[in-house]
A and B are shown apart, each in its own frame.
Chain A
Amino acid sequence: MFNRRKWDLETDFVAVGSGLGGLGAAIVAHDGGAKVLVLEKARKLGGICAYSGGEVFLPGNHLQAAAGIEDSREKGLEYLRFLGAGYEDRALQDNLVDAGVEAVRWFGERAGVRWKLIKDFPDYYYPTAPGSAAKGRYLEVELIRGDTLGEWKRKVFLSPHVPIGVTHDELFAWGGFTGIMGWDFAVLGQRITDDLRGFGPGMMAYFVKAALIDRKIPVQLDCAVRELIVDDGAVIGVRATQGGKDLVVRAKKGVLLATGGYDWHASLPKYYEQLPEWNSMCQPSVEGDGFTMGAEVGAAVAAVPANNLGLFFGYHIPGEEHEGKPLWRGSWDGGFPHAIWVNAAGERFADESFYRDYLPKVRAWDGVKQRQPNFPPYLIFDSNFREKYPLGRFLPSQDLPESLVQRAGSLRELAAKLGVDGAALEATVARFNAFARDGVDQDFGRGTYPWASMMTGDFKKGGNPNLGPLDKPPFYGLQLRVVSAGINAAGLKTNEHAQVLHVRGRAIGGLYAAGNAAAPLDTGAGYQSGLSNLRGLVGGWLAARHAVSRQP
């Protein structure tokens, strides 16, 4: 038995991690009467949630009805079942909608989170999937002032990946991601000066305010939980390290692992994600610690097919860093007009505007040659693209660094520089240009999903928003790399109360997991933006509610 005299701190509920899972649970447990402590390994709060787009996907949410948008639990679940494709655990999936609706409303009414609907934003698979909806299922937050966080305002992550002082509605009205030249940069500049936050950083500002400012919930930063303390088969506390010293905390009612996935773990991505490399957009503190600590106390690990979760391709611009590590940026540019993705054989292999289509195809295996022929992909674009669209942070007028992008007068020359089959690339581009002229991609149907077109299309140009020929030299190209958004295939197996399950099937007393620390059996074999944040929120909500009523 653990020597009880060794506790440095005693509390009821310990939330490990400060994303939506950790902070949400802390707020709920606090309001349920529990004494709560949040331990965060990074030097700032907010986790990947604060790096994110801040979209929360929730069919049947309370704001839909108010906006006169028809939806239902059944229709929402029909869509989620389509995504899960049989790999989902139905009870857990039902929770996403049932507990999700309850939790989102509660955080709005009781914790001051000012949710709003993202206007006219369709489900990924609308209109083809059963139960899919044209609008009304994505929530984000209204802008919030950094000043409301008082002394914590510089201790909450902002995101290097998303625009910050703005809402989705404003961005789409300004022309979306292809229309960056139409963005109101004066307004954006002023919003940054005024420290107005939206997207993921805004969302997490609300949760930090609710937890730390309004409820004065104690938080330790730079405090990594290393080990779960177990007594008689149940978790009764944690051992953390902070500034080289041990911090041993008793948790009378429960410990929640809301530590995110394993993006920065040295080997787990290779074992579970079926790609030869793994780079991450996330903070380097997300190293699969929950996975390790759970396994150490006998937790079951579960995984869904890695094929179609939230993953991107992207690149690293030499010289860019965050949190002392290289910054990896996601690339959506392949779906913009005047751009394609090809494999080393010089062939297109998917609808570049719709990452649901290209993710499984980039993992496709050639069993004769024993390799993944579509990996790595190459982004190819022409001077039409350069004149109109940004490449990541590089606006049309800005030079592209030679260390990142190759440039050549002809496609053949470009192919040689990239190590791609030149004759095939010429043929591929000629075929694509014909599709662009007709406005129909006969091979992969690019531009047919309204969601994909909103994200990567150009609506101002007329015709198919995702098609435009590559016919103006010089041509440009770069090899893309795997860039993860932290949404992993494997995690700790949990039940409908977010309790972690032992390999023998029983729930491990006092141990909970939420968000990416938990196996994505609630979503199954598919993904839809906003589900990852929802998983964190719902897992934290369930864990806190169960733990506060638990008798230690």
Chain B
Amino acid sequence: MPEVEYSTTMRLAPESVWEFVRDMNNWAPFLTGYQGHEIESDTDSVWTLKGDVGVLSRTVRLKAHVTEWNGPERVSFTLVGLDEVVEGGGTLTIGKPSELMAPARGPSLWRRFVDGIFRWLFRAMHGKGPRRLQTSRADAASQLTFKLRMDAGGPSGPLVNAMLAPALKPAAEDLANKIAAHLETLHGVG
């Protein structure tokens, strides 16, 4: 069963990260190949993703169900294919970075500029400014780890899994990195 794990670090307190990550609606659009998602309840949603399966790209619908909500440390969820015989799940874990980070600096001029542009764009698109999350301390740091596994069922499972495997690692990296970049921009750090 293909399973991958990817970690990234941010100059933000775990609480700031949690505040964002706890709500799937915040980061679902950062999933690779995101086409849309529908919320069914507090714990359930359906994601529509367009992804590469081997050589072709296919639109798949996955039902996501939150199984663990353990703030400010972890969200776990399961995934079940609605049109394909595939199931899986994932965990987003927030913790202290395992390695020492470079000493934190205040936001650079360039970063403040980018941040300003981002806020302006956000306002232009949504008619309001991005929600200010809990301001981070200058020396704060978190590690965000995304674990993802997918398992194709049925007789052809081993074949489909072999085709899925190469796509999982970039998907996990993509999600973790996009969340990190988004939050750092939002908080003007990085």
Contact = CB atoms under 8 A, between A and B. Distances in A.
Contacts of A173: none
A370 interface: no
Contacts of B155: 181, 185, 395, 397
Nearest to B158: A189
A158 B55 contact: yes
B121 interface: no
Interface string A185-224: 1101111110000000000000000000000000000000
Contacts of B165: 193
B137 interface: no
SS class, residues of chain A in contact with chain B: mixed
Nearest to A162: B55
A319 interface: yes
Contacts, number: 60
A158 B53 CA distance: 12
A419 B165 CA distance: 42
A180 B154 CA distance: 12
A188 B162 CA distance: 8
Interface in A119-161: 157-160
A188 B56 CA distance: 17
A188 B157 CA distance: 10
Contacts of A3: none
A70 interface: no
A320 B58 contact: yes
A192 B55 contact: no
Interface string B134-162: 00000000000000000000111111011
Interface in B47-102: 50, 54-60, 83, 85
Contacts of B154: 395, 397-398
A204 to B, nearest CB: 13
B86 to A, nearest CB: 11
Given A185-B155, A185-B157, A401-B83, A160 B162 contact: no
B56 A160 contact: yes
A327 interface: yes
Interface in A318-342: 318-322, 327
Contacts of A188: 158-159, 162
B4 interface: no
A310 to B, nearest CB: 21
Contacts of B58: 319-321
- The contact size tier of chain B is 20 to 34
A404 B174 CA distance: 33
Contacts of A193: 162, 165
Interface string B34-52: 0000000000000000100
B186 interface: no
Contact of B55 (A159, A189, A191): A159
Interface in A288-332: 318-322, 327
A192 B56 contact: no
B159 A160 contact: no
B161 to A, nearest CB: 6
B163 interface: yes
Contacts of A397: 85, 154-155
Contacts of B50: 319, 321
Contacts of B162: 188-193
Given A186-B158, A397-B155, A321 B57 contact: yes
Contact of B54 (A158, A319, A398, A399): A158
Nearest to A194: B162
A346 B138 CA distance: 76
A318 B83 CA distance: 12
Given A395-B154, A398-B154, A185 B56 contact: no
A143 to B, nearest CB: 15
A185 B159 contact: yes
Contacts of A321: 50, 56-58
Nearest to A396: B155
Contacts of B85: 397-398
B56 A320 contact: yes
A183 B161 CA distance: 15
Contacts of B57: 320-322
21 contacts: A157-B55, A158-B54, A158-B55, A180-B156, A185-B158, A185-B159, A189-B158, A192-B162, A192-B163, A193-B165, A318-B59, A319-B59, A319-B60, A321-B56, A321-B57, A321-B58, A395-B154, A395-B155, A397-B85, A397-B155, A401-B83
10 closest A-B pairs by CB:
A319-B59, A189-B158, A189-B162, A192-B162, A160-B56, A160-B55, A158-B55, A185-B158, A185-B159, A188-B159
Given A193-B162, A397-B154, 16 more contacts: A158-B54, A188-B158, A188-B159, A192-B159, A192-B162, A319-B50, A319-B58, A319-B59, A319-B60, A321-B56, A321-B57, A395-B154, A395-B156, A397-B85, A398-B85, A398-B154
